[in-house]
A and B are shown apart, each in its own frame.
Chain A
């Protein structure tokens, strides 16, 4: 049985060696080693995922097994959800590294070590079963991410984006640590299972305060309104391969952190209260907000970043429903969304590489030359709308099966984000209609991170995008996916099973059934896709419809007051963060006490 420690230690060792010998190692060896390491992580985490469908196991570092109820050391809990997310992180990292093969700026040999550290941190974060260890991996992930975000130092914009990202996420980390300290004081433990058992249903002010601070910390990473301001800034300026990881998995891991501590530490405390509704409401607001901002945006990467906010809102909503079916749907949704979003970012990267701009008006009609990219982009747009045939629709149908009213939120978010992407597609790749409005954000000057001059697109650059979009379609038709998701969700929610795994070493997981498509899902997905196509065409061809009926183009151009909130000032972002934390606290106190 391969050791779970390899998930973290191998990428770290390779990163350290690449860093130590960066002057001696030629670029192609660094590329190859990095891809092989990430691929190895993918294999290992898939092996553990398959294993976790039958038995979830715990791995104690340093051989420090618990004494009685007390966990002395740090344990990795290899359950389905965690291993699945580790696998997604490894897959996306592999694809991102293939995309940046050779042609991307190597940043003096610092790029590969940072990517591998980032991967190790994400893997460790996903499977760690210790509260403080989760904080350490959160910080490790952040540190690597801050540096990667500021990779393009030739312009001031990336530095501003990275700075905002670093300040907000560091404040979030310190709030998390405050929460950890409060829980440690209350229970004298850092192991998640031990804390959960020690709290034993206690829900006084101390537990609530710890919950508020920890959740705030994770939700900042998960970019929920009003903690989301850093995300578009960071995405607009990061290199493409880094955007893939930010949008495809890092943000979702933030949400997963909140889920993990809820499932283990707080589930018993808040059973029977309305606390999960906090997540439902936050998620719904975020989904709608993000979708509207996404449609109003004309900088391609910022547009995709807002769609990530919107979709992460949907995921938060699904988490808040807190049923097995919703969590199973969420699992499928996270994987499918990661793939589609990665594919879209990779297409945007190809556009940036070829035309050296990310502005929709500037790209108008120029994409015609890129015959390979256009279909991928349109498929990606349909995928974001969770059209039939994409795995997002499968996940979504499981969630709305539990809460039919959520269909409305999914419809708004899916249709608007899909429409935004399709609108860009029609304008850029087909040259339909006019160039669209110009706004300030679209004028952020961006130089490509690629080094080789000339307009040729390396065929290797297409491979990851094809794998992503194709993979998302293939997942929709693979019945095993829902089975994996069902089993992962069931064991994730079962705190007793989790605690048993921690103290007895392993828990046997009952087999889950495969569900595949749910009938009502087809209908909703079809409607959503139609709506997305209709809205996008409506917006693109707005000059041909009567003035009274130009709603989408109003939405496209009239979000000024709301967009002003996205001010680019870290002070504003931190002020919003405190307000969000206070609102969360007030709501939690009101719901429980």
Chain B
């Protein structure tokens, strides 16, 4: 189809779709007047039933925790998919470990690195790690949780990369443990659910004692699941970063015969 034809076709479709959307939205309650009842009920119940103060995380990891299991595995399969798509081509039979070929750390832009950047990023590396762990373990109390904490943790090696601390960066991201942690974090979530099953309760029932509201060790499985998710997300994003950088490197190599 020609480009102009496509745009005309889209114009017709978009007009209809926009009309349907707006016609539907006209019957929505006025903005700013959420009517409940689901959200209100959860907001009322979560503090008492689950001893968490962050009700969003009570929903994410407990009331609708099964959704989050699926969500975590969406991430898992995307990471697996990225590794699959960007896999080195020589080895396809699997199992063998000869993927060390490209070292992403040796790829860098030509521009000289400013010392300020190097100093600063190296300095906040530790801070990023601690902040990530803090985020991942305090989701039940304040905004945060496994996903947010995991992303911050995964950003830490990127800081090293920016600082061109190549050795440390490579040691972290190409470690076989990263891959193991990614799978283990994902499996851990499902296994916590299975633990409830083994105790005779429904899958993903909160079987750990709930503790005192406001404590770090409160809210039962919410904190445990959040930690598993944190591990999985951190490892998953590290893997994605590693795969992309290796791919860029191998392309650079091909361009310079």
Contacts and interface: CB of A to CB of B under 8 A. Distances in A.
Q: Find out whether A and B make contact in their complex, taking CB atoms under 8 A apart as touching.
A: yes
Interface string B84-110: 110101011111110000000000000
Contact of A61 (B7, B14, B36, B202): B202
Interface string A72-111: 1110000000000000000000000000000001111111
B1 A564 contact: yes
Contacts of B92: 105-108, 451
B81 A143 contact: yes
Nearest to B191: A13
28 contacts: A5-B193, A12-B186, A16-B184, A16-B187, A20-B180, A25-B95, A59-B203, A60-B202, A61-B66, A73-B63, A105-B93, A107-B92, A110-B80, A111-B94, A113-B77, A121-B73, A133-B64, A136-B70, A136-B71, A153-B87, A184-B38, A205-B27, A208-B23, A575-B13, A576-B13, A581-B16, A582-B12, A585-B20
B78 A124 contact: no
A578 B78 contact: no
Contacts of A9: 69, 190, 193-194, 197, 203
Nearest to B181: A20
A428 interface: no
A190 B38 contact: yes
Given A9-B190, A16-B186, A578-B10, A23 B16 contact: no
B21 interface: yes
User: Which of B17, B63, B83, B181 is most buried by chain A, counting CB atoms within 10 A of its CB?
Assistant: B17
Interface of A: 3, 5-6, 8-9, 12-13, 15-23, 25-27, 30, 59-64, 67, 70, 72-74, 105-111, 113-114, 117, 120-121, 124, 132-133, 136-137, 139-140, 143-144, 146-147, 150-151, 153-154, 159, 178, 182, 184-186, 188-190, 204-206, 208-210, 212-213, 451, 564-565, 567, 569, 571-572, 574-583, 585-586, 589
Nearest to B42: A72
A108 B94 contact: yes
A142 to B, nearest CB: 9
A210 B26 CA distance: 12
Contact of A572 (B6, B62, B184, B204): B6
B205 interface: yes
B9 A107 contact: no
A109 B84 CA distance: 9
A64 B181 CA distance: 30
B140 to A, nearest CB: 15
B128 to A, nearest CB: 25
A186 B25 CA distance: 10
Nearest to A159: B85
A3 to B, nearest CB: 6
A189 B181 CA distance: 36
Contact of B21 (A8, A209, A574): A209
Contact of A74 (B6, B66, B180): B66
Contacts of A188: 35-39
A137 B9 contact: no
B32 interface: no
Nearest to A585: B20
A121 to B, nearest CB: 7
Contacts of A572: 1, 6
B23 A578 contact: no
B25 A20 contact: no
Contacts of B179: 19-20, 22-23
B183 interface: yes
Contacts of A120: 73
Nearest to A67: B41
B183 A17 contact: yes
A150 B85 contact: yes
Interface in B37-60: 37-39, 41-42, 45
User: Which of B19, B191, B202 is most buried by chain A, counting CB atoms within 10 A of its CB?
Assistant: B202
A205 B26 contact: yes
Contacts of A15: 73, 76
A167 to B, nearest CB: 14
A61 B69 CA distance: 11
A474 to B, nearest CB: 34
Nearest to B29: A185
B95 A22 contact: yes
A17 B183 CA distance: 6
Contacts of A567: 1
A21 B180 contact: yes
Contacts of A3: 197, 202-203
Contacts of A451: 92-93
A19 B14 CA distance: 42
Contact of A185 (B28, B93, B182): B28
A63 B196 CA distance: 10
B218 interface: no
B77 A114 contact: yes
Nearest to B193: A9
A106 B21 CA distance: 45
A5 B87 contact: no
Nearest to B24: A209
A585 B17 contact: yes
Contact of B76 (A16, A178, A205): A16
B171 to A, nearest CB: 18
A73 B64 contact: yes
A208 B24 contact: yes
A72 B41 contact: yes
Contacts of B63: 62, 64, 72-73
Contacts of B19: 582, 585
A339 B19 CA distance: 42
A132 B6 contact: no
A151 B37 CA distance: 45
User: Which of B14, B15, B21 is most buried by chain A, counting CB atoms within 10 A of its CB?
Assistant: B21
A429 to B, nearest CB: 31
A108 B91 contact: yes
Given A62-B206, A121-B70, A205 B9 contact: no
A213 to B, nearest CB: 8
A110 B83 contact: yes
A63 B94 contact: no
B202 A59 contact: yes
Interface in B119-162: none
Contacts of B10: 574-575, 578-579
A152 B164 CA distance: 34
B191 A147 contact: no
Contacts of B70: 8, 121, 124, 133, 136-137, 139-140
A150 B77 CA distance: 13
Given A67-B41, A140-B74, A575 B87 contact: no
